[in-house]
Amino acid sequence: MSRYITRLRMRRTYKWNGRPVGEDRKLKRQYYESMSISVEGKTEDATVSLGQYILIEGDDDDNPFVAQLLKLYTDDSGKKKTAVLQWFVRMCEVPQNKRKLLGRDPHPQEIFFYQDRSCDNEVDGETILGAVQIEYVPVQDPFPVGKSRDILFVKLLWDTKSFRALDPELMQPPQSPKSPPPSSRGPQTRALPTPDPSVMKRAMSGILTRGSMSTGKMSSSEAESLHSASKLSAAKALSAKRRSQAVSGPQVRKKLDLCSPSKNMSRDDVLGELLDERSEKTLTSKLNTSPTGRISISIRLTPLNLNKEECVSPLSSHSPDKPRMTAHDKDDAARARTPSRRKDSAALREPALAALAEEEHEDSPINTAATSRSKRKSAQLVSSRIKKQLNLLGNKIDLQSDGEDGDDDDCFIPSKIDLQSSSDEEEEAKIDSEDELIVKKHRGSGTSRSTEKTRVSARTPRKTPSKKTAPATPRTPRHATPSIPSRTAPARKPGNVLEEARARLHVSSVPESLPCREQEFQDIYNFVESKVIDGTGGCMYISGVPGTGKTATVHEVIRSLQQSAEQDEIPHFRFIEINGMKMTDPHQAYVQILQKLTDQKATPDHAAALLEKRFSAPAPKKETVVLLVDELDLLWTRKQNVMYNLFDWPTRRNARLVVLTIANTMDLPERIMINRVASRLGLTRMSFQPYTFKQLQQIITSRLNRVKAFEEDALQLVSRKVAALSGDARRCLDICRRATEICEHSGSQKNSSGLVGMSHVMEALDEMFSSSYISAIRCASVQEQLFLRAVIAEFRRLGLEEATFQQVFVQHQALCRVEGLQPANVSEGLTVCQRLGSCRLLLLEGSRLDLFLRIRLNVSQDDVLYALKAD
């Protein structure tokens, strides 16, 4: 894909071509059929007309949006040019977690037909960058190779939930008012890359399908005109019915086989046939037209009289969200017309391959029906036989090409095996390989790249990565998959009640539900849900002391919102989380958001620019993004631009960004934010109160979940104690965990119940909360104790809380004499003093001050005296 550099800001001028072709008086719109875009510095203008595939300027300069142009109109002022589009999505636009639904690596040039009614399909006409070629590839076919990198391929349809096979008919633009058939489009947009005969042939067949598509469009208008009266309701019913019929019934295929058993049709034809059959059936039941009659009519039709009819046909109001209807109507003609043409193309094949082609054609109905996987069985026998044969052939070809470029081939063969191992698709790949020897080599290298990629991603996290892969790519940590090696022996499961309780009480274990935060949960849920449903943006500030369940509650909210999104109760959204503590610099926030949003890497400045663009540009098929910013206070910078941006983006009209911020202090906005930032944060605030003892007790009980390990009183003691101190749930859980350990150790001695009782909890509380200073003083050496006494004596003498070492040392020596010890000299005295300073019983100045360093006590004098007296 070449780059469509919009960053260069080439000046584009947009002009209507010709007169308006229609007018909607009610909406005051004038419809046009084409628009010319002239780029400064280029002589010829590019023209985009209805039905053509175009590129729309997007966030990503490398991958602009792709769409099909359905309508062009201007409002009465004539200033604003608007385009109505059918969107296509690239793989990178599909949400990350859904990408694996594809089940294979996407082709680099692959795009998907986008089917989502919630998505806005009108854009400013001036965002159009130019035309692009899109080619429909049937599901079973491999991606054509050797074509220009500018051609995009459509194979599947993405409806925000899953990938489905795409009807080629969906790609036909619905009829626009009075537009003549863009008959010249095929040859105009298609450039054959090489005059190679095999490629030529492929291109030919491509044109043929394209041709059939365009004729299909014409005939659709005919069909429209035929039964315009009942069309709307009929079409609706039809589309509904079609959706319910995800797989075509077996009888459809039988019918098909019956009507064309001997016909040497190509796959495309059969697909068309198959689809026609179905639409035909429904149509006939609706319209009471006999199928044979209809077919004969459509065969008779020529483009010319189609045109005529079209001009005559009364124009119906044609809303853009009914492309499906017309697509079905079009089917008839497409089916009827193509066989003959395809026969020609088939005849063009080399005679050597004729037999194979024959087989392929016989086989093709099965492949086309592959979407209905249930009834493949009978066909599998045949196909497997053919596969075998083809593989043999394919391998031979590989061997022949070996000599030409050795580098590709050793990658190529494994890739080949890879391909064989997967599904029906591979068969087509092989058929292609016979058609095109030269192209094949390219393909080989292409697939080898993709398989290599899968190998990297599938790499098991063993301990050797640095040896194996790193030397080859030493400077690419971005491609590496960091992971801690997995353990050799599996982790042991908890054995007894106490261990079980301990595992449940670990802060990390995710509880079934979060008790005691129902109100907060509901508030946040409502806030986020309403924003997601409305497609608007907003900010919320959540505060509370550590360990009160802020982050956990937000995660719980997101989890349940995601669940309801899965069940289609609310639109889908992206959830992104950043944490101020988990970045090295506030500006890294941009980098992390961008990376999580689009998987791009950028410098902070560039990332900020890209995000700015993304959130301010009106991109139509944007999902709402829910951004959780944890530890907000760390994103503070002197200019506060990071915070400013985070709160400013949601206020943009098209941003669809919900920002939830978490910090510890309630008055953070008032304290550290300048006015323009605080104002944008808004007043949606919530504060999490520290847990009360009842709530803490409930939390422990719900976590234990009927594992009987604690006495009631013990639980109450813990929760009361913690609630009085901090209300930190983490603390509470940690104490309980420690208490189970103590219980386990003492349990062997005598304990009758085996439960964690008061004494154990008391001991744990003691360990965690009691000050260690007193025991430290008691265990200090004699000289250290004397020194502490000297300090106190000197303080009392001076009446101050501070003394120099020299003063204290004099006292110390006096005390030594009183105690009958040999008085220490200055060096020893200083050593003692420093030792007390290093465990912070004393607070000292720098030791280079020597005799004049000032000493203060870090403990209260009473504590020291108490500790010394108890001796």
**Rounded alpha-carbon distances, angstroms, from residue 599 to 213, 595, 602, 618, 621:** 37, 4, 10, 21, 18
Closest CA to 103 of 370, 459, 366, 422: 422
If you compute the radius of gyration of the chain from its CA atoms, what whole number of angstroms results?
A: 38
How buried is 574 (Cβ within 10 angstroms: 0-12 exposed, 13-18 middle, 19+ buried)?
middle
Q: Which is nearer to another protein, 245 or 483 (CB)?
A: 483
Q: Nearest distance from residue 728's CB to another protein, in Å?
A: 5
C-alpha span between 40 and 786 (Å, rounded): 90
- Report, in Å, the least distance between residue 864 CB and another protein: 13
CB atoms within 10 A of CB 683: 10
**Nearest distance from C-beta of residue 575 to another protein, angstroms:** 15
Residue spans of beta strands (DSSP E) within 97-171? 110-114, 122-124, 128-131, 133-136, 151-158, 163-165
Identity of the residue, 227 or 835, whose beta carbon is nearer to another protein in the bound complex: 835
Alpha helices in 160-290 (DSSP H): 185-189, 197-226, 231-244, 250-259, 267-287
Q: Where are the alpha helices (DSSP H) in 245-290?
A: 250-259, 267-287
- Contact by Cβ (8 Å): 581, 631: yes
Question: What is the smallest separation between the CB atom of 508 and another protein, expressed in angstroms?
Answer: 4
Separation of alpha carbons 57 and 124, rounded Å: 10
Least Cβ distance, residue 738 to another protein (angstroms): 7
- Whether the Cβ atoms of residue 341 and residue 348 lie closer than 8 Å to each other: no
Q: Which is nearer to another protein, 192 or 776 (CB)?
A: 776
Q: CA–CA separation, 103 vs 330, rounded Å?
A: 31
Sheet strands (E) in 233-381: none
Nearer to another protein, 489 or 870 (CB): 489
Closer to another protein by CB, 800 or 826: give it. Answer: 826
For the CB of residue 384, give the shortest distance to another protein in the complex, in Å: 38
737, amino acid identity? R
Structure tokens at 30: 């004038």
Rounded to a whole number of angstroms, the minimum distance from the CB of residue 603 to another protein is 10
**CB-nearer residue toward another protein: 242 or 731:** 731
Closest CA to 121 of 508, 620, 565, 538: 620
Residue nearer to another protein on the CB measure, 13 or 96: 96
Q: How far is the CB of 713 from another protein (least distance, A)?
A: 22
Query: 625: closest CA among 715, 678, 561, 582?
Result: 561
We find the least distance from the C-beta atom of residue 808 to another protein, in angstroms, to be: 12
Select 146 or 690, whichever has its Cβ closest to another protein: 690
Cβ nearer to another protein, comparing 480 with 609: 480
* Strand bridging mode 12-16 / 163-165: unpaired
The distance of closest approach from Cβ of residue 543 to another protein in the complex, given in angstroms and rounded to an integer, is 13
Least distance from another protein to the Cβ atom of residue 411, Å: 22
Token pair of 367 as six digits? 């492949």
- Three-state SS at 183: coil
- Nearer to another protein by C-beta: 672 or 839? 839
Q: What is the SS3 assignment for 92-105?
A: HHCCHHHHHHHCCC
Query: Cα 212–218–223 angle (5° rounding)?
Result: 115
User: Measured from the CB of residue 755, what is the shortest distance to another protein in angstroms?
Assistant: 20
Shortest distance, position 470 Cβ to another protein, whole Å: 5
Strand partners, 688: 544
* Residue whose CB is less far from another protein, 237 or 814: 814
Beta carbons of 660 and 542 less than 8 angstroms apart = yes
Closest approach of another protein to the CB of residue 658, in Å = 24
Question: What is the token pair recorded at 247?
Answer: 């797989």
Contacts of 358 (CB under 8 A, 6+ apart): 264
- Structure-block tokens of residue 213: 């598509």
The nearer residue to another protein, 403 or 490, going by C-beta atoms, is 490
Nearer to another protein, 18 or 511 (CB): 511
User: Of 347 and 456, which CB lies nearer to another protein in the complex structure?
Assistant: 456
308 to 171, 268, 297, 600: CA distances (angstroms)? 24, 28, 15, 52
User: Mind spelling out the 3-state secondary structure of 37-95?
Assistant: EEECCCCCCEEEECCCEEEECCCCCCCCEEEEEEEEEEECCCCCEEEEEEEEEEHHHCC
Instruction: List residues bridging with 131 in a β-sheet.
Output: 54
* Encoded tokens for 32: 């046009």
> By C-beta, is 296 or 838 nearer to another protein?
838
- Of 402 and 863, which has the nearer Cβ to another protein? 863
CA distance 356 to 825: 105
Q: Toward another protein, which CB reaches closer, 168 or 547?
A: 547
Give the nearest distance from C-beta 593 to another protein in angstroms: 13
How far apart are the C-alpha atoms of 334 and 312, rounded to whole Å?
Answer: 22
- What is the smallest separation between the CB atom of 805 and another protein, expressed in angstroms? 10
Closest separation in Å from C-beta 472 to another protein: 10
Smallest separation, CB 824 to another protein (Å): 7
Rounded Cα gap, residues 741 and 502, in angstroms: 8
Query: Could you tell me the two tokens for 734?
Result: 């940690």
CA 250 to CA 267: how far, in whole Å? 18
Cα–Cα distance between 504 and 703 in angstroms, integer? 6
Give the three-state DSSP class for 861.
helix
Smaller CB separation from another protein, 389 or 483? 483
